[in-house]
Structure formats: C-alpha cells, structure tokens
Structure 1
Amino acid sequence: MTGSARDFLEFHCIPEAALRWILGRAGELAKSWDERAMPQSLAGKRVALIADDSGWRNTTAFDLGIQAMGGICVHVPISFNAREETGDLTGYLGNWFDMLVIRTKELATLKAVATASSVPVINARTRSNHPCETLGDLAYINGRRGTIDGLKVVGVAADANILRSWVEASIVLPIEVVQVYPERWHIRDTALLSGRFRRSTDMDELSDADVVITDSWPGDASEDVLADYRLGTDLLDLLRKNAIFLPCPPVMRGQEVTVEAMQHSLCQSHAAKAFLLHAQNALMEWAAI
C-alpha cells in the first residue's frame, strides 16, 4: 500500500493553496460552531483517534469535532513500537477506519504509519513537531487580520516542536519566522533552514513582530541564562499595538512568561486556542474529500 495524498504529517507537506483553503474554512466553521449549526461533513466517516502520548487539548478537540460533524470517533488504545509491527497495526486499522488521527512521540513512527496506510493520517503531535497547534493559531490570526501574508513571527523559544511547526509553515507560506534565544538552543536542522527562517539572540527583533510565541524553558537551562528571554509586561508594552502574543500552553508563569504578561491586552492565548478546534475540523474536511 502507499500513503494517502491527504496526509498531514508536517506543515509543508500540504500545498499552499490547500492550507489557505483550510485557514479560510476554519473561520467559516467557527461561525457554524457559535451558531450550533455544524455541517455534517464527516457523516458516515469512521475516525481512529490514537493518543500514544500524553496531552489533552487537541485530542479532545478532534473527538469533539468529529462528533459535531457527524462522524464516528473511536479511541484506539494501542502503542507503536511495542509488541506489534507498525505496518501490521496500520493494516488492521485500515480495515475499519477512514482516517487515522495519531498523537505519538516520534515523527518517524508517524511517517511509517502513513507510508503503510491507504487512508489519511493526521499528526496530532510528535516531539518533533505540532502542526495542528500552529494551524489553529494561523487560522485565528487569519481571521483577525484578514490575511497571513507578510507576517513576522518571533519565537522566543528553544528548539522544540511548537517552534519547529512555525518554521515548517514558513517553508510553504509567505511568513517570516525568527527564533530569538541563546545560540545553545538554536534550531540547526538543515531541512528547516529555509530563506524565511532565521535565528538570533537579539530581543529587539520583537519590536516589529506581528506575532510573538513562547514555549517552556528547556530542562537543561538555569534561570540566570534565560532570565533576559522572559516575557513580561515591560517587553509586551514595546510591541506593535496590533501585535498578537501567543504563549504556548502549558504556560509556566515565572519562567518563560511573567504572571502579569498573561493578563496583558496583547495576550490572546485563550481566544486563539479556540481555533484549534475549528482548524482541525477544517483539516479533517479537507482530508476526507
């Protein structure tokens, strides 16, 4: 068997036109959600939801979205790279399901599943990337600004899955992504070093940012090394008036952000994360075509 053309494993595996459709459709589905009039786009579709890793936000949103759009969602209690071969597991799943939504540790495992699967496979998070999280944020930004074109996104974060997904997005979409962090934690993966991504240690990069994101401090860092990269109201006050601050959950107040930063007018975390549901719903509609 060969993989499906509707897989979503990395952000840049979907053409720009399809991504733009998904972002626009997410805005439409947000209105349908508020009106409690969701289209039954997944009626008759059987979706396997596999959480081979911890976390709750996007898997809960997938479950809710599948049901709201008329599909059947089954939580499949399996683990990859254990007793059964990945190819065998994928074959058994393909007997019953029209789509596989998988949260697992290794991107390589997800790619192996997709290669063996004849139905679409959606990445619900790996340690290497988290494309649905970024898709949801972009859908929110698109709705707020009317476009994503020309965005400057500054990630005050170490090399981790959230930042990597934004970098992946910059490969296929016309957005600029800048990592601002001590060099020790810079992204060095040559596959991600596209023309629209660059690295810096200069916090002045935030001054003209349209979007600022954060992630949890790396576990091997001491506070004195990263203190200058903590986002507080003093720094947020210097951003553009229409900038969007999106600290990545789970937020560790007192580390990557201050307590006060979470109450700042530019912090739109809760509103943006609502679009995780809408973007994932639009993604599943696209995958089910």
Structure 2
Amino acid sequence: MTGSARNFLEFYDIPEAGLRSIIARAGEFAKAWDGNAMPQSLAGKRVALIADDGGWRNTTAFDLGIQAMGGICVHVPIGFNAREETGDLAGYLGNWFDMLVIRTRELATLKAVGAVAPMPVINARTRSNHPCETLGDLGYINSRRGSIDRLKVVGVAADANILRSWVEASIALPVEVVQVYPERWHIRDAALLNRRFRVSTDMGELLDADIVITDSWPGDVAGDALAGYRIGTDLLDRLRKDAIFLPCPPVRRGEEVTTEAMEHLLCQSRAAKAFLLHAQNALMEWILA
C-alpha cells in the first residue's frame, strides 16, 4: 500500500499551477456561498475529520464545507502515537473513507500517515505549519488584489507554524516573505531557506509591504521585551494605503497588537478568515477531482 499523490501536508506539496487553480477557485466558492449555490463537488465522498490537538476554526470550516458540498463528514475520535500503530490506523480508515483531514501536533505523524494511507491526507494544522491558513489568506488577497504575484509579505512573528507556512508558500509561489523579529527567533530550518525568504530585525521592512502578518508572542518572553515589535495604529498609519494587515488569531491584544490596531482600516483579519472555508473547499475539490 502506498501513500496518495495528492496529499497536502506542506504548502509546496501542490505544484504552482495547482495552487493557483485552488486560490482562484476559492473566489468562485465565496460567491457561490453568498448565493447559497454551492456546487456538490463532494457528493458521495466520505471524509474523516480527526482533531487531536484542539482548535476550532478550520476544523469547523472543514465540517461545514464538506456537508455544503454534498459530502459526508465523520468526526473520528482517535489519537496518533498511542495504542495503535499509525500505519494500522491509516489502513483501517482506508476501508471506509475517501479522504482524511487531520489536525495533530507533529508534522512527522502526518507524514507517516500520508506515506501509507490509501487516500489523500490534508494537514488541518500542526505545531510546525498551518498550510490551510495561508491558503485561505492567499484566496482573500487574490480576491482583493486580483493577483498574488510579486507580493511582499512581512511576518512580525517568531519561528512558528503560521510564519513557516508562509515561507513554504514562498518556495512554491512568486511571493517574497520577510521575517522581522529579534535574531533569537529567526527561522533557520534549511528545508525552508530559499531565495524568496529572508530575515531582518528592521521594522522599516513593513513600510513597503503588501501584506503584514503577526502571531502570538513566544511563551518565554519576559515582560515587555518585544514591545518594539508590537503593531499599533501609529505604525499602520505609515503603511501603504493598499496594504493588508492580517493578525493571526487568537490575537493577544496588548502583546503582538494593540486593541486599536484591530479596529484599523488596514486590519482585515475577519474578512480574510472567511476565506479559510472557501479555500479549504477548493482544496478538497481539487484533491478529489
């Protein structure tokens, strides 16, 4: 038994043409959703949704999207690396399901499942990456700008799953990603280093950015040590007028962002996160096509 050729475990698992197709399709799905006219692309498909790492946004969106497209979604109450071997679990699930959507802590676990599962596997989040979140943001950006080409994305964030997925995207797509943070938290993973990704400590990088993202402060920060990397309205007022500010939920107001920044005109997090549903729907349709 071999793994599926259409897994989505890391952002660059799908070639550029496929990613562009999914991102464009997300915009079509957004219109279909608003018109209550969702295509029944998953009619007759059975999807297992496994979440052994908490969270609610993207797993809820997966469940809702599967049903809206005519599929059957079953929440499977299992955990990995416990009593049963990962390969055995994948085999048993293969008896019943056409696709697995898994949210778990370790990317290595997902890769182990993907290597042996007879059906496609989608990464619904690990602590190492979160490709669906980035895919959703790109769907929203494309709907606003009409293109994702030549974006400059500045991530004011430590080495963590949201930023890492944006760096994965820079490998697959013509998107420049700059991490702006103290050196202690810079990404150094050789698998992610590429010509469209660089690191800096200079907040001036934000001034010509198309997209600015944030993530929660690291848990080992003492006091206000990262105050210089907090996003406030004074900084947002200096950005390009067409810039898009996407603080990553859950937002800790008073840490990585100020309360006022969340109400700024450039802050479009809520609208962007609507596209998490649409992009995931487009992804599932593409994978099962």
> TM above 0.5, one fold?
yes
The aligned residue for residue 66 of structure 1 is 66
What are the residue-to-residue correspondences of 1:31-180 with 2, within 5 Å?
A: 31-180=31-180
CA distance in 2, matches of 1:52, 1:259: 31
Aligned length: 289
Counterpart amino acid of residue 39 in structure 1: P
CA distance in 2, matches of 1:91, 1:17: 31
The aligned residue for residue 19 of structure 1 is 19
1:80-137 per-position Cα deviation (integer Å, ceiling 9, x unaligned): 0000000000000000000000000000000000001111000000000000000000
What are the residue-to-residue correspondences of 1:252-267 with 2, within 5 Å?
A: 252-267=252-267
Runs of 4+ in 1 over 4 A off after TM superposition: none
Q: Secondary structure at the match of 1:191?
A: coil
Q: Secondary structure at the match of 2:123?
A: strand
TM-score scaled by length of structure 2: 1.00
CA distance in 1, matches of 2:278, 2:77: 25
CA distance in 2, matches of 1:256, 1:30: 30
1:131-157 per-position Cα deviation (integer Å, ceiling 9, x unaligned): 000000000000100000000000000
The aligned residue for residue 201 of structure 2 is 201
The aligned residue for residue 271 of structure 1 is 271
Following superposition, the deviation at residue 222 of structure 1 comes to 1.9
Following superposition, the deviation at residue 224 of structure 1 comes to 2.9
What stretches of structure 2 of length at least 5 have no aligned partner?
none
CA distance in 2, matches of 1:234, 1:71: 47
Counterpart amino acid of residue 8 in structure 1: F
Following superposition, the deviation at residue 2 of structure 1 comes to 1.1
1:190-247 per-position Cα deviation (integer Å, ceiling 9, x unaligned): 1101000000000000000000000000001123320000000000001000000000
Counterpart amino acid of residue 274 in structure 2: A
CA distance in 1, matches of 2:27, 2:222: 41
- Over the matched positions of the two proteins, sequence identity in percent amounts to 82
Counterpart amino acid of residue 11 in structure 2: F
What stretches of structure 1 of length at least 5 have no aligned partner?
none
Counterpart amino acid of residue 37 in structure 2: A
Counterpart amino acid of residue 124 in structure 1: A
What are the residue-to-residue correspondences of 1:273-288 with 2, within 5 Å?
A: 273-288=273-288
Q: Secondary structure at the match of 1:223?
A: coil
CA distance in 2, matches of 1:64, 1:3: 26
Q: Secondary structure at the match of 1:165?
A: helix
Counterpart amino acid of residue 287 in structure 2: A
Following superposition, the deviation at residue 3 of structure 1 comes to 1.2
Following superposition, the deviation at residue 269 of structure 1 comes to 0.3
Task: Provide the aligned C-alpha RMSD in A.
Answer: 0.5
The aligned residue for residue 29 of structure 2 is 29
Counterpart amino acid of residue 202 in structure 1: D
Counterpart amino acid of residue 75 in structure 2: H
Following superposition, the deviation at residue 163 of structure 1 comes to 0.2
Q: Secondary structure at the match of 1:122?
A: strand
The aligned residue for residue 4 of structure 2 is 4
Following superposition, the deviation at residue 14 of structure 1 comes to 0.6
